[in-house]
Amino acid sequence: TLSLHDALPICEIGLMIEIGNPLRATGQFAKDINNTKDNLVITLSCLDSPNYKEKRSVIPGVCSYEWVENKRKEWGEDDPRWFARVLGKIPKQSIDSVFSSEVIDSMIERKVLYSHKVYRGSAVDVARFGDDETCIYGGMNGMIEERDIYSGVSTTATASRALIVNNKVRGNFIVVDGDGLGAGTIDTLRDMQLHDIELIEIHSAQKDGVDPQYENRRAEMWFKVKERAENGLCAIPNDPLLIEELMAVRYFINKRGKIQIESKDDLKGAERLDRSPDRADSWIMLQWGFAHASEVKPKEDRKSTRLN
C-alpha cells in the first residue's frame, strides 16, 4: 500500500506581506518595492481614493479630499512626504535623509570651479581594527583626486599615509577626526612638525562655536556641506559605497529642538548599512576643510590630475 504522505511531495509555501508607507529611499522595504521581478508590488495612491475623487466620505477612515489638498499646499508636490504619504511612492530621498538622490547625482564626477582661488588638502576618518575602514581622501576645490582606503593599520601608520596622500595633491591642510582613535593620528602628525600644512582637528560632539540650530559639530558639518553641494561646490567619484553612505545618513530634531545626525551605531543596525559610514565621514570632513582652510598661494598651485 502507498500512503498519501508517501505518494505526494511535501511542499512548504511561504508568503510574506509588507504593508506601509515607503518613507525611506534606502533600506530593505525600499529594496523590496524596487524588486518587481521577484515581488508583487501594489501601490495605493490617495489620489485614487474614492473619498478624494468624489470629494466626500465614501469610505470612513480613508484619507479625505481636504487632507490631500492641505498636504499639497503644506508640503508641495516635490516634498518626499508627498511622494511617500500621498502617492505611496518611494521618495527621491528619505524623509529624514540629509542628501537627496538628485543632489548626489549632480555631484558625481562634477568639475568644480572656484574662480581663481585654489584649495588643496586631505581628510582622514580613522577606523578601529576590524571591518571598519580607515578612509583618506585628498583633492582640490571640492573634488577628490587621491584615495587611500584600508583597514587594520595602526594610527601611527595612518598618519604617514595621510601625509603621503596630502603630498600627492600638494595640500596645505589635513582634517582629522580627533575623537577616539583619531587622537593618536593627530598626535603623530603633530610630532612630525609639518611645515606649511594646517592641521584641522574635528570633534564631532563639540558644541562650542557651533551654529545654535545644530546639536553639535557633526550635524553642522553635514548640513553646511549639503548647502555647498547644492550650490555646485562639491563633487564625488562614482563610488557606490560612498554614494550609499551619503544617502543613508539621517537626521532628526532632538528634545532641545536642534538638528542632530544619527549615531554610527544606529546606522550600522539591521536593514541599514551594516557598516560604519567611514567614506561619507571622510568626504564630509574634506569638504569642510575646503570651506575653512586657507587658500593655496598661486605660486604653489600646480596642474593636477583628477582620479576617476
Report pLDDT digits (tens) over 101-160. 889 999 999 888 766 688 999 999 998 655 688 999 999 999 999 999 998 888 889 999
pLDDT of 222 over the 90 cut: yes
At 3 the pLDDT is: 41
Helix segments in the chain, DSSP class H: 4-7, 28-34, 50-54, 65-75, 80-81, 101-107, 155-168, 182-191, 217-230, 240-248, 264-267, 278-292
Q: Examine the pLDDT at 303 and tell me if it is beyond 60.
A: no
User: Any residues with CB less than 8 A from the CB of 239 and at least 6 apart, and which?
Assistant: 279
Q: What is the mean pLDDT of the chain?
A: 85
Q: Do 81 and 71 touch, CB atoms closer than 8 A?
A: yes
Query: In the predicted model, is pLDDT for residue 301 greater than 50?
Result: no
Supply the pLDDT for residue 56.
93
Residue 305 pLDDT grade (very low, low, confident, very high; cuts 50, 70, 90) = very low
* Residue 50 clears pLDDT 70, i.e. is over it: yes
> Comparing C-alpha atoms, which of 124, 234, 115, 99 is closest to residue 177?
124
Question: Does the pLDDT value for residue 271 go beyond 70?
Answer: no
Q: Is the pLDDT of residue 299 over 70?
A: no
Is pLDDT at 270 greater than 60 in this prediction? Answer: no
Assess contact for 125 and 282: CB atoms under 8 A.
Answer: yes
pTM of the predicted structure, to 2 decimals: 0.70
From the list 125, 100, 161, the residue with the least C-alpha distance to 283 is 125
Mean pLDDT across 265-291: 86
